């Protein structure tokens, strides 16, 4: 099965928590704090693997989570950082943020790309010792790793794209000029998936040709198979437009040419401006008048015209030589540049880190703030300095101000993510 679109969730590993520990050794009095820092969480890294040709594996596994960093430990030992999670994709995969459509990476080169960064480890209690606070019984939790829902979209890396109506001979053409062996039959939509073939002119010159499944009128609106595979033409530097010049199926080659170009423009206006070569196929079954009329029509538009018969290989060598010559004048295959995160999204991400909600029920103030849970894990409620640290977190996040705004009184009960305490000024 050829699968060229998938939607998955990626989650980098959280950082490990800092440790609360005190140096204890015989004959060493008041050793002081020695809690180490937590390790870094694992990154999510995408890597091209040429052994993959589709995204079918992502249909069966949709969530990828990297390992969490290890917690710090005594004797100032830093927790071990988690290894990166490597996700292998076929070459040509474009990764987008599912929420915004922003391009995050184009996997067209061998360079691995970090899409979600692991969280930093939390600081151990050794960092919080001061002259007035010599036994800190709290540490910092690890920072959460980045998380995204992303879409994967495979856009084939080909120099030349063969486009045209079904059954005009595209599969036959790619089979005689390359080593590709597509299924060939005399009925519409024989080709159900894009086919890649390497065309070699000599030891030093070659290019990649893609046979795109047949387009029909309305393909740009999702009719037929064309809509599913038009994305694979987007990277092509040159389009070879194959047209049945014989008209044996009752269609007019001029009309076919205009309809297919209109569908390309409807999908992406840039495609209609891409350099084209017209290959008038099945010329062995056409009359001289038909060929001459269509040739004059195409050359009037300034487009190179070649009369071929893919079935008998007539004219195919001349066509391939022309294609090679044109490719030498064109820029390399297009790569999609990653798009920066908009400022509005950055502002929203910054604010989301300390977001909370407060509801009052039966005179209890319920505070919902998931981000505070890891902080609570490192706080010792029996230690005054630890509670002071926790109070500063509540003040700096705006929770205390919001409670006062809602009319909380001293002695009222606050439920903070399941932890209940009496409010005091």
Whichever domain contains 70, its CATH number is 2.70.210.12
* pLDDT band at 49; cut points 50, 70, 90: very high
Pair (152, 81) in one structural domain: yes
- 3-state helix/strand/coil string of 135-190: CCCCCCCCCCCCEEEEEEEECCCCCEEEECCCCCCHHHHHHHHCCCCCCCCCCCCC
DSSP calls for 56-84:
GGGGT--EEEPPPPPPPBTTTBPPPPPPP
Asked which of 296, 327, 358 is the last residue of a domain, the reply is 327
pLDDT for the residue 138: 81
Burial (0-12, 13-18, 19+ Cβ within 10 Å), 71: buried
pLDDT, position 298 = 93
Is 212 within the bounds of a domain? yes
Does residue 390 have a pLDDT over 50? yes
**Cα–Cα distance measured from residue 292 to residue 54, given in angstroms and rounded to the nearest whole number:** 42
Report the phi/psi class of residue 407: left, alpha or beta, with left for phi > 0 and alpha for psi in -120 to 50.
Answer: left
CATH label of the domain that carries residue 414: 3.30.300.350
Strands 5-11 and 147-154: antiparallel
Residue numbers of the domain that contains 1: 1-157
- Statement to judge: residues 143 and 164 lie in one domain: no
> From CA 369, how far away is CA 391, in angstroms rounded?
15
Phi, psi of 220 (to 5 degrees): -65, -20
The answer to whether residue 332 sits within a structural domain is no
Q: 314 and 170 share a domain?
A: yes
Question: 402: which strand partners?
Answer: none
User: What phi and psi values does residue 33 have, to the nearest 5 degrees?
Assistant: -70, 145
Most confident among 61-65, 249-253, 356-360, 376-380 (mean pLDDT): 61-65
C-alpha triplet 195, 201, 204: angle, nearest 5°: 110
- Label residue 423 by pLDDT band (50, 70, 90): confident
- Name the pairing type of β-strands 113-116 and 160-163: unpaired
CB neighbour class for 291 (10 Å; exposed up to 12, middle 13-18, buried from 19): middle
* Least-confidence region, from 55-69, 71-85, 245-259, 284-298: 245-259
Q: Compute the distance between CA of residue 19 and CA of residue 150 in angstroms, rounded to an integer.
A: 34
pTM of the model: 0.70
In a domain, 336, yes or no: no
> Is 24 inside any structural domain?
yes
Sheet bearing 357-361, strands edge to edge: 357-361, 364-368, 413-416, 419-422
> In what side-by-side order are the strands of the sheet with 93-97?
63-65, 5-11, 147-154, 93-97, 103-107
Convert the pLDDT of each residue in 108-154 to its tens digit.
899 999 999 999 898 898 888 877 777 888 888 888 898 999 999 88
Q: Do residues 2 and 136 share a domain?
A: yes
End-to-end CA, the chain = 65
What single string gives the DSSP state of each residue in 281-328?
E-GGGS-HHHHHHHHHHHHTTT--EEE-BTTTTBTHHHHHHHHHHHHT
The pLDDT tens digits for 212-233 are 776 655 544 554 445 566 777 7
Q: Would 126 be classed as within a structural domain?
A: yes
> Does residue 269 fall inside a structural domain?
yes
In this structure, the answer to whether residues 164 and 43 fall within a common structural domain is no
How many domains does one find in the chain?
3
Average pLDDT over residues 238-266: 88
pLDDT score for 219: 46
- If you count them, how many residues does the chain have? 425
| Residue 338: inside a domain | no
Residue 72 lies in a domain: yes
Residues 103 and 132 in one domain: yes
């Amino acid at each position: 099965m050829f699968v060229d679109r998938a939607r998955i969730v990626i989650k980098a590993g959280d950082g490990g928590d800092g440790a609360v520990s005190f140096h204890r050794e015989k004959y060493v009095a008041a050793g002081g704090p020695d809690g180490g820092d937590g390790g870094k969480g694992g990154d999510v890294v995408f890597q091209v693997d040429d052994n993959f040709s589709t995204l079918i594996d992502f249909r069966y596994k949709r969530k990828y989570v990297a390992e969490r960093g290890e917690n710090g430990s005594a004797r100032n030992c830093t927790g071990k950082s988690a290894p990166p999670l490597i996700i292998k994709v076929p070459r040509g995969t474009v990764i987008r943020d599912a929420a915004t459509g922003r391009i995050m990476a184009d996997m067209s080169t061998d360079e691995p790309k970090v899409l979600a960064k692991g969280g930093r480890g939390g600081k151990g209690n050794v960092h919080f010792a001061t002259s007035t606070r010599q036994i800190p019984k709290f540490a910092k939790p690890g920072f959460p790793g980045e998380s995204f829902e992303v879409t994967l979209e495979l856009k084939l890396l080909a120099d030349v794209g063969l486009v045209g109506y079904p059954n005009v001979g595209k599969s036959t053409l790619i089979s005689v000029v390359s080593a590709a062996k597509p299924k060939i039959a005399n009925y519409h939509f024989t080709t159900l998936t894009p086919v890649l073939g390497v065309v070699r002119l000599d030891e030093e010159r070659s290019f990649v040709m893609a046979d795109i499944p047949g387009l029909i009128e309305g393909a740009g609106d999702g009719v037929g198979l064309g809509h599913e595979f038009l994305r694979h033409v987007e990277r092509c530097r040159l389009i070879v437009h194959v047209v049945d010049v014989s008209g044996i199926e009752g269609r007019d080659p001029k009309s076919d040419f205009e309809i297919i170009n209109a569908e390309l423009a409807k999908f992406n206006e840039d495609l209609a401006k891409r350099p084209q070569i017209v290959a008038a196929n099945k010329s062995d079954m056409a009359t001289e008048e038909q060929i001459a009329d269509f040739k004059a029509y195409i050359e009037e538009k300034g487009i190179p015209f070649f009369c071929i018969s893919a079935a008998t290989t007539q004219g195919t060598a001349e066509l391939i030589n022309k294609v090679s010559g044109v490719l030498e004048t064109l820029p390399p295959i297009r790569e999609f540049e990653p798009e920066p995160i908009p400022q509005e999204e950055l502002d929203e991400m910054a604010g989301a880190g300390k977001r909370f909600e407060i509801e009052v029920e039966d005179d209890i103030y319920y505070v919902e703030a998931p981000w505070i849970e890891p902080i609570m894990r490192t706080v010792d409620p029996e230690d005054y300095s630890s509670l002071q640290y926790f109070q500063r977190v509540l003040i700096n996040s705006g929770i205390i101000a919001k409670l006062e705004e809602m009319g909380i009184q001293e002695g009222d009960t606050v439920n903070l993510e399941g932890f209940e305490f009496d409010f005091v000024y």
